[in-house]
Structure 1
Amino acid sequence: MDIKIGIENINRELAVETDQKREELKTALDKAFSEDEGVLTLTDTKGGELIIPVARIAYIQVGQEHSRKVGFGSL
């Protein structure tokens, strides 16, 4: 799933591709926003972690979940 996150006072948005499901993302967001000094932690498709303080998040755009990759080697 592709996720775009706008951060306050930063001109560019963060673009993350993750294997997390939409429900997992909603649960992580609810938990992060309910904490006083909450952070949102996302894991990208390559195993890297992105940690964002929720107090600075301006918006989050969630794309559609990927059903399958198209290209060579995906038989």
Structure 2
Amino acid sequence: MEIRIGMINTSREIGLETSSSVAEVEALVADALTGKTPLLKLSDEKGKVYLVSSANIAFVEVGSDQSRRVGFVG
């Protein structure tokens, strides 16, 4: 699943692919945005860990669990 995180005061976004479920990611984001945790901690499929200050998050876009279809559209 693809996740994009927009940051305040910057035009760049953080993008990552994760094997976590939508529900798991939504719970982590909700905890960060409500102030329960000062950091949003996510890991990607390659094992990299992303720590994002919850005070600097502008938006979080969570993709679907469906995999991309491969082939030609006709």
TM-score between both structures, scaled by the size of structure 1: 0.79
Show the counterpart of 2:9.
9
Corresponding position: 1:61 with 2:61: yes
Q: Is the 8 A contact 1:37 1:53 kept in 2?
A: no
TM-score between both structures, scaled by the size of structure 2: 0.80
Give unmatched runs, 5+ long, in structure 2.
Answer: none
1:37-52 map, 5 Å: 38-52=38-52
Superposed CA RMSD in Å reads: 2.0
Give the percent of matched residue pairs that are identical in Structure 1 and Structure 2: 34
2:32 alignment partner AA? A
- The count of residues paired between Structure 1 and Structure 2 equals 70
Task: Tell me how far apart the structure 1 counterparts of residues 40 and 21 of structure 2 sit (CA, whole Å).
Answer: 15
Structure 1 stretches of 4+ moved >3 Å: 66-70
